[in-house]
Amino acid sequence: MNHLQKINNSKPKRKPLLLKIAPDLTNSQLDDIIDIVASTKIDGIVATNTTIAREPLTYPKAEIEAIGMGGLSGKPLTKRSTEVIAYLKTKSNNAFPVIGVGGIHSPEDAIEKIKAGADLIQLYTGFIYEGPALIKNINKEIVKQNLL
């Protein structure tokens, strides 16, 4: 990461470098991530990527195994993603920006991420399943709750 920072900082217009992390990390590993951000001076964290955990799923085990071990996204990530955001923001004393992503399917999900400390939110699976109205509804709720 230091090599990337050196190259990035030598450019006339540097770009923000963010580290995207998995929801599967332990709190001890998240502490290591906080140390890495501090030592490398990267610009922030994207929390979280897809998960390999299958515990949140309610499908029969055989069906889950038949699908395979690819990354799982969407609603099963909602709770853990929010926990990771809150942990990073609290333990780092708000030392860096965190982009909250993972399981945002409603304005309420987005507000939870923001209240947990997310500086920005990013939509993927929720946008696919809920459509573009989700963005409008999230924005309305942010304004309604005066979270700008």
Digit-coded pLDDT (tens) for 35-58: 999 999 999 999 998 877 766 667
Q: Is 1 a member of any domain?
A: no
Instruction: Return the number of other C-beta atoms located less than 10 Å from residue 76's C-beta.
Output: 21
Q: Is 103 a member of any domain?
A: yes
Domain that holds residue 54: 24-144
Q: Is 5 a member of any domain?
A: no
Q: Is 99 a member of any domain?
A: yes
Give the DSSP H/E element, type plus range, for residue 46. strand 44-47
CA distance 82 to 45: 13
Q: What is the CATH number of the domain that holds 107?
A: 3.20.20.70
Q: Is 29 a member of any domain?
A: yes
Q: Is 101 a member of any domain?
A: yes
The torsion of the CA quartet 58, 80, 106, 129, rounded to 10 degrees, works out to -50
**Tally of domains within the chain:** 1
pLDDT number for residue 94: 97
* Phi-psi sector, 146: left (phi>0), alpha (psi -120 to 50), beta: left
Q: Is the pLDDT of residue 114 over 80?
A: yes
Average pLDDT over residues 75-100: 96
Q: Is the pLDDT of residue 2 over 70?
A: yes
Q: With contact defined as beta carbons under 8 Å apart, do 93 and 117 qualify?
A: no
Q: With contact defined as beta carbons under 8 Å apart, do 71 and 51 qualify?
A: yes
pLDDT-above-90 percentage for the chain: 74
